[in-house]
Amino acid sequence: MLAKIIGWLPQLLDGARITILLTICAVSMGLLLSIFLALGKMSKNRILSKFCGAYIFFFRGTPLLMQLYFIYFGLPQINMALTINSRFFAAFLAFSLNSAAYCSEIIRAAIQSIDRGQFEASKALGFSKAQTMRLVIFPQSIRRLIPPVANEFIMVLKDASLVSIIALADLTKVTRAISSSSGTALVYIPAMILYLIMTAFFEFIFHRLEARFSRYEV
């Protein structure tokens, strides 16, 4: 049994590499996009605010699986120029666009949880709006962002198993392939352990970050 598991391990690790790479890239990109989305949605500009609201509504309101299908299979049928050859890139695109919608709500909630007095003090001291965000609001929001963002990483890590539908060899896809070729479902045990190790990795990193960003609190 142990020998079998060791035999599967290189393939499983290859799959896990795709899974974790996709998760880290997609959520990082999603976070970056989500800052603009969140600020856009809170903007006084009605058109911008409505556009960002519609984006969030669309990506949270339709299944990620369908978004992935559509980006990989649907876009080329609208226009050949939109064909995405790399499966990884198609998955990255779908996951980051989707994650941006979720993260923007996390960021908006974190910004709005900051006391109004912080905005007022910044204004009275003469900070511009951009300076207020950069120097006062974002640094205080970060600590409040960490737990929900950690959650987002862990969710996406597992949602990443959806990429098997566009034949991207992530951990789930690899595991299923081994299971059907070897005729044993026991390969799910080491695969699930790998998922747990990756989850633990994110939990560890975010715990450290949380401690680092709470040092100014008593």
Partner 1 sequence: MSMIRTEHLAKVFGDLAVLKDVNLEVEPGEVVVIIGPSGAGKSTFLRSLNGLEKMTSGKIFIEDELFYYRDHDKTISKMEAKKHKQLMLEMGMVFQRFNLFPHKTVLENVMLAPVHVKKMDKGRAEALAKELIGKVGLAEKQNEYPARLSGGQQQRVAIARALAMEPKMMLFDEPTSALDPELVGEVLNVMKDLADQGMTMLCVTHEMGFAREVADKVVFMANGRILEEGKPEEIFSNPKTPEARQFLRSVL
* Residues near partner 1 (CB under 8 A): 115, 117-118, 120-121, 123-127, 131, 135-136, 139-140, 216-218
Find the shortest distance in angstroms from Cβ 21 to partner 1: 33
* Distance, CA of 69 to CA of 75 (rounded, Å): 9
Quote the least distance from Cβ 109 to partner 1, whole Å. 18
Write down the least CB distance from residue 31 to partner 1, Å.
20
Choice between 24 and 136, CB closer to partner 1:
136
Helix boundaries (H) for the chain: 2-42, 46-61, 64-69, 75-78, 87-112, 116-124, 129-131, 138-159, 171-182, 188-213
Query: Among residues 46 and 181, whose Cβ is nearest to partner 1?
Result: 46
Contacts of 115 (CB under 8 A, 6+ apart): none
Distance separating alpha carbons of residues 194 and 208, to the nearest angstrom: 21
Nearer to partner 1 by Cβ, of 50 and 123: the residue is 123
Residue closer to partner 1 (CB basis): 68 or 137? 137
Min dist CB 205 to partner 1, Å, is 21
Minimum CB distance to partner 1, residue 208 (Å):
18
CA distance 79 to 63: 23
What is the nearest approach in angstroms of partner 1 to the Cβ of residue 113? Answer: 13
User: Closest CB to partner 1 among 206 and 213?
Assistant: 213
Evaluated on CA atoms 72, 75, 80, 83, the torsion sign reads negative
Q: Which lies closer to partner 1 via its Cβ, residue 121 or residue 200?
A: 121
d(CA 69, CA 65): 6
Task: Count Cβ atoms within 10 A of the Cβ of residue 86 and give its class: 0-12 exposed, 13-18 middle, 19 or more buried.
Answer: exposed
Contact 107, 27 (CB under 8 A): no
Q: Of the candidates 20, 160, 19, 189, which has an alpha carbon nearest to the alpha carbon of residue 95?
A: 160
Q: Answer yes or no: are the C-beta atoms of 99 and 60 closer than 8 Å.
A: no
